[in-house]
Amino acid sequence: MLKAVIANFRQRLRYEWLVPMLLVAMSGLWFSVATAAPPKSGEVAPDFELANVDGGTTKLSTIAERGPVVLIVLRGFPGYQCPLCNVQVNDFLKSQEKFQAAGARVVFVYPGAGSGLVQKAKQFRGERVIPEHFTLLVDPDYQFTKQYGLRWNAPNETAYPATFVLNSDRKIAFSKVSDSHGGRTTAKEVLEQLAKNQQQGSK
């Protein structure tokens, strides 16, 4: 009887120690995933391939070979069409000729839940004409968003708005990530950065 009581006590003791240890390990794993940092200036942007809103796909490494890339991550569809995303896209479209003169390609990423995301992206585009050197990509179920550490994992949220300016080798020359709906880059700010990069490259 005594041996059985001791054995039972030891088993319970191991269990009581094991559970907290497992919880600590799991919380550490969750923390490391949840706090994955977005790529920073000076780093090489991870390659990806996403679907275009009108069909086909775009691969980052392929378009980067042609010249600088301005990668803009929108909030996509958090349950509605984000008005600040509309303002930002319109701002960049108004400067489309300047981006073309700079030899830059502007890529918008529209994240959201996979079901019906392409249709939501088309609704977001609306009657706007997207020029040849601009691209609207969809990120269903946040595959790209998570890869870039930009997933805003909260109710009615999708991704942290972000902008990356990449050189032809995909090295990030400029990055800006907002922790709110606002704080976005402007076309003027990005064009100034592209001009700065061009001046540094010619030296």
State phi, psi for 52 to the nearest 5 degrees.
Answer: -80, 150
pLDDT band, residue 7 (cuts 50/70/90): low
pLDDT digits (tens, 9 = 90+) for 46-61: 999 999 999 999 999 9
Three-state DSSP state, 179: coil
Locate all alpha helices (DSSP H) within 68-160, ordered by sequence. 83-94, 96-101, 117-125, 143-147
What is the average per-residue pLDDT within 99-116? 96
Q: Taking all residues of the chain, what is their mean pLDDT, rounded to a whole number?
A: 86
pLDDT digits (tens, 9 = 90+) for 128-150: 999 999 999 999 999 999 999 99
Least confident of 2-16, 81-95, 125-139: 2-16
pTM of the predicted model, to two decimals?
Answer: 0.82
Identify the CATH number of the domain in which residue 67 sits: 3.40.30.10
Check: CB of residue 189 under 8 Å from CB of residue 195: no
Residue 177 forms part of a structural domain: yes
State phi, psi for 23 to the nearest 5 degrees.
Answer: -65, -40
Residue 166 forms part of a structural domain: yes
**Which residue segment(s) compose the domain that 99 sits in?**
44-201
